[in-house]
Amino acid sequence: MSKNILVDAYNLTKILTSIRKYRKRATSIDMLIDVALISAILCTFV
């Protein structure tokens, strides 16, 4: 189960980084998404 969560999170971050490269800049919304994603990943392992 946790492996699937890790794969999903990895794919999400890859998608987010590709979107950022396309847009050439990271907005505050992107940073908020990153924080929410990282906190969700950490919560699954605590």
Tell which residue, 37, 27, 35, 36, has the closest CA to residue 19. 27
The one-letter amino acid code at 9 reads: A
- Boundaries of domain holding 11: 2-45
Q: How many domains does the chain have?
A: 1
- Reported as a single tens digit per residue, the pLDDT across 7-35 is 887 888 888 777 777 666 656 777 788 78
**Tell me, what's the pLDDT at 2?**
61
**Tell me, what's the pLDDT at 24?**
63
For the record, the structure tokens of 4 come out as 């699937």
